[in-house]
């Protein structure tokens, strides 16, 4: 029976692998890349719109405001509650980011990312300029809190020189470490603003490869299904590699290289003795 090979363990295992891979391509991998493409498109639109939009006072900024919009903040830096974000990369090189809470004139506390500094020759935080004293007025961009998968708290020990270090730029991590009631999200300082260090670069306005990656995963899923269908049809036809042999017929096996060499050697010996 030609269809009997479909029930063989090897073929069932191959079929399971093929269909699991195809389902992952269509339901997980391709949608994931489409989502990243949409996120990049939304980010590019927000950054582009921010260049022409008038900065808003922070008192007028609500949860509906988009990331990267520019805001104006007036208040006083709190350098005693400063936290260093470690293990950062800026323009392809290692860096630390300096996070300083700021108390606004209306009493709320916000987290300001003052920018980055490069590690010293011992890969530690170098000396950097403190924030200005007194009331300042700065322009910054709205940023969403980063998520640390391990949800690690800020810490300070001998290796950090007594400074608080964090693994993510997250207002609530800083709030827990400093006992301050900090507004969710943070604000990234623009260049030439009071207290800025190395101004963080804005993201490049490029679509990225995510859309093409999504199409590739769809293509991979389709190709593996078509390949499975092709080999299935081939095996159904007479003479398939997995088809059952007719009764009484001997199963032919391909000779190994060692067998071929041994037969050639025996043939040469026979020729030399004759």
pLDDT tens for 229-254 read 888 887 777 655 555 444 444 455 56
Least confident of 18-27, 46-55, 253-262: 253-262
Categorize the per-residue pLDDT at 145 as very low, low, confident or very high, splitting at 50, 70 and 90.
very high
Q: C-alpha dihedral over 172, 176, 181, 182, to 10 degrees?
A: -30
pTM of the predicted model, to two decimals? 0.66
Cα-based distances in Å from 11 to 74, 83, 129: 69, 58, 68
Cα-based distances in Å from 40 to 56, 209, 211, 256: 24, 10, 10, 55
| Residue 19: strand, helix, or coil | helix
DSSP state of 69: -
The 10s digit of each residue's pLDDT in 41-89 is 777 777 777 776 788 898 888 765 678 888 999 999 999 999 999 999 9
Least confident of 23-37, 58-72, 114-128, 241-255: 241-255
- d(Cα 67, Cα 82) in Å, to the nearest integer? 23
Q: Which helix (H) or strand (E) holds 47?
A: helix 30-52
Look at residue 262 in the predicted model and tell me its pLDDT.
76
CB 22 within 8 A of CB 224: yes
Q: Is the pLDDT of residue 176 over 90?
A: yes
Look at residue 243 in the predicted model and tell me its pLDDT.
52
Provide the token pair at 116: 């980055």
- Within 125-260, strands assigned E span 135-143, 164-166, 182-189
**Closest of 104, 100, 123 to residue 177, by C-alpha:** 100
Q: Is the pLDDT of residue 105 over 50?
A: yes
Average pLDDT, the chain: 84
Categorize the per-residue pLDDT at 115 as very low, low, confident or very high, splitting at 50, 70 and 90.
very high
**Closest of 110, 132, 113 to residue 59, by C-alpha:** 110
- d(Cα 180, Cα 233) in Å, to the nearest integer? 69
The 10s digit of each residue's pLDDT in 91-102 is 889 999 999 999
């Amino acid at each position: 029976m030609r269809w009997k090979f479909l029930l063989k363990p090897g073929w069932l295992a191959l079929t399971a692998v093929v269909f699991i891979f195809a389902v992952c391509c269509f339901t997980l991998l391709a949608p994931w890349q489409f989502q990243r493409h949409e996120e990049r498109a939304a980010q590019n639109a927000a950054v582009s719109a921010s260049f022409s939009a008038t900065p808003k006072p922070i008192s007028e900024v609500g949860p509906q405001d988009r990331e990267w919009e520019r805001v104006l903040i007036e208040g006083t830096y709190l350098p005693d509650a400063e936290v260093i974000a470690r293990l950062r990369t800026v323009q392809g090189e290692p860096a630390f980011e300096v996070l300083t809470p700021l108390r606004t004139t209306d009493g709320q506390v916000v987290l300001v990312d003052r920018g980055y500094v490069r590690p010293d020759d011992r890969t530690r935080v170098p000396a950097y300029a403190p924030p200005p004293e007194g009331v300042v007025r700065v322009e910054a961009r709205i940023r969403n809190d980063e998520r640390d998968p391990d949800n690690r708290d800020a810490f300070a020990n001998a290796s950090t020189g007594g400074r608080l270090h964090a693994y993510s730029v997250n207002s609530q991590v800083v709030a827990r470490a400093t006992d301050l009631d900090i507004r969710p999200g943070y604000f990234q300082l623009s260049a030439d603003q009071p207290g800025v260090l190395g101004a963080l670069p804005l993201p490049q306005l490029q679509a990225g490869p995510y859309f093409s990656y999504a199409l590739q995963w769809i293509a991979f899923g389709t190709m593996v299904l078509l390949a499975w269908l092709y080999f299935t049809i081939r095996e159904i036809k007479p003479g398939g590699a997995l088809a059952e042999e007719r009764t009484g017929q001997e199963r032919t096996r391909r000779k190994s290289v060692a067998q071929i060499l041994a037969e050639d050697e025996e043939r040469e010996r026979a020729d030399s003795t004759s």
